[in-house]
Chains A and B, each alone.
Chain A
């Protein structure tokens, strides 16, 4: 049997809640509509039983107290139909994805490292080891931590002007006597390491470390 649009009136009719004109219309309707009459007579029998004392066995006081104790959380939960919950869930996921994609991920963005006054790059970081502060005499070597496997490091040492640039696969470069002799006390020097992959791609850069030779007085 196909659903009739008057079906929604069945309960109201059986509970005598229809207005007189609505009741008349519905009564005439179920003389014509097999579907409505069938559903109505089935429901009438059930309702007659439900309305008998003791069948539903729900003490009014307990029910009322439970209902009054309903929290706002429960009311809010009940407000959302399943369809609305699905829409809310999808919206929340979409919002999360949008925020995750658009928000800059500072933890993973490489820090900017200054190569020269005009050049700043982002990449992995080479960690300088020594010297990283003022020294009492010219350092014997420049040392840094490994930035990965199979890398070639380019080390540069500068004072007021570039002093030397060299490449090594090691994580230490020993200063030649010639270079050490040129380092003067009281002058600020700086050094930096760049790491290159085998194909020549710059992959990591250290900060430019500044130091002075401050002899012990």
Chain B
């Protein structure tokens, strides 16, 4: 049922704003994007359970708010972060037990999501190709080789500050190309 709810209201998602603009449960639902990001990063996007876990977190948060367990002493963001972190830990523990006895089933990708993702990936790759070599070099060393800023600077013979400038400028150019 939660899958059919509308998109994120994260921009309005504070207790104060929620009291003024949105019901509390809607304000919490607006954090779906943030919670999804956190869960996917912790468990991996290929984990088939991540959407279910996000739904569980949101339901738990709404339940706590309705029962008065959350009184607004902290921000909604902090409250949801705590629930999310605990749920992730619980899931990892459960999964560890399960995987000892049974293999992980392969994920079933959504074809529409896959197609959209491939298109954006193609656009980003094209944007990267159009960059000058000096920008591709820093991106390669910083993101692909995962060198530190100082290591990249040493490798290319430029200052660390220049490395940051080039990285930020390259990302800006890519974003501009992908989303003008």
A28: min CB distance to chain B, Å = 5
Instruction: Say if the beta carbon of B92 comes within 8 Å of chain A.
Output: no
Chain A 71-92 interface 0/1 with B at a Cβ cutoff of 8 Å (1 = within): 0001100110100000000000
CA distance A127 to B74 in the complex (A): 98
A51 to B11, CA, bound (A): 30
Per a CB cutoff under 8 Å, which of B125, B136, B148 touches A58?
B136
How big is the A interface, by class?
A: 35 or more
* A49 CB contact (under 8 Å) in B84, B125, B157: B125
A31→B124 contact, CB < 8 A = no
B19 at the interface (CB under 8 A from A): no
- In the complex, chain B residues 70-112 whose Cβ is within 8 Å of any chain A Cβ: 75, 77-78, 80-81, 84-85
Please give the number of chain B residues whose Cβ is less than 8 angstroms from any Cβ of chain A in the complex. 42
Q: Would B140 and A63 count as touching, CB distance under 8 A?
A: yes
B residues with CB within 8 A of A: 10-11, 31, 33-34, 37-38, 75, 77-78, 80-81, 84-85, 120-121, 124-125, 128-129, 136-137, 139-146, 148, 155-159, 161-162, 167, 171, 174-175
Q: List 13 A-B contacts (CB under 8 A).
A: A11-B142, A15-B146, A24-B85, A31-B78, A33-B77, A37-B37, A43-B171, A45-B124, A46-B175, A56-B139, A57-B136, A64-B155, A67-B157
Q: Which residues of chain A have a CB within 8 Å of any CB of chain B?
A: 11, 15, 17, 24, 27-28, 30-34, 37, 40-47, 49-52, 55-58, 60, 63-64, 67, 70, 74-75, 78-79, 81
